[in-house]
Amino acid sequence: MKNVGIIGGSGYTGGELIRLVLQHPALKLSFVYSTTRSGKSLNSVHQDLLGTVSLDFTDSIESDIDILYLCLGHGNSKTFLKEHSFSDKTIIIDLGNDFRLEADQAFEGRNFVYGLPELQKEKIENSKSIANPGCFATAIQLALLPLANQNLINGPVHINATTGSTGAGVGLSTTNHFSWRNNNLSWYKPFTHQHLGEIHQSLEQLDSPSEIYLIPQRGDFTRGIFTTLYTSFEGSLEEAKKYYHTFYAFHPFTQISDQEVSLKSVINTNYCFIHLHKYQNKLLITSVIDNLVKGASGQAIQNTNLIMGWEENLGLNLKASIF
């Protein structure tokens, strides 16, 4: 059993990670660090944990912990690691955006690896410091990587991606408020979303720099990301499917569906489902993920499994709540 510490476990991502660690057969939750909730029980915040765990939040840290997950607000992981020291043997997985770009990956004697298993599984397996990808970035990259790998992105990529309210965190804002979000739909950060940097970085890694236009939307639901994107493609639909099946043949959590996919098919799971549709000279790609699992905490556990040499799906055999 590997001892796990979680820094910042009171939010949606932290709560999901706690649940996944508790049911993982090779992980033991040692502490959940919080300066604002120290001494309060985990189930006082995450009420679904009642009867599952008796731990309290703590403001003390075990520096020799086996695995440390950072679930802090974006930009706060660097500050935390500067203020707290950990063993060189400690695996650190950051679920924020501090180390995702190459310019930021060398830090305090560590070299963070971008943790998208479908892109660079071998690098993850040989690392002890992981920058977990963003949720939009995960859904979009998984939709594009097989084309990029074949150098078949030859024109602009137009993307519409709708996320649930949990993607904005637990903090209350006008656009998170039930009265505003219910029966509503809106876009935000058109063409400028912060996840575009890591998407471009990965495509360039495959020698496939691309022109990408992303319109993110706030959806009237709590979890998941529904992404549609299209780009020019001169090949047949059968050829496209072959590229995708080949690219993901050894990646258990990304599946290609012949049928149209819906968001509920992946909620509460670590899967990404992809569907391809051809119209004239355009290829329409649909990808769906749970933003809190494959887009965050589930992918962090997936990366942990790879680093430890365990089965990639250990502790992640989760069933969708489709009905």
Q: What residues are annotated to the active site? A: 135
**Calpha distance 154→136 (Å, rounded):** 22
111: Cα separation from own chain's centroid? 20
Q: Is the dihedral of CA 218, 321, 47, 70 positive or negative?
A: negative
Which of 33, 189, 205 is CA-nearest to residue 118? 205
**Calpha distance 155→209 (Å, rounded):** 10
Contacts 24+ apart (CB under 8 A), 97-105: 97/134, 97/194, 98/74, 98/131, 99/129, 99/131, 100/131, 100/133, 100/134, 100/137, 100/197, 100/198, 100/201, 101/197, 101/198, 101/201, 102/201, 105/131
Residue type, position 151, single letter? N
Pair 222, 166: CB distance under 8 Å: yes
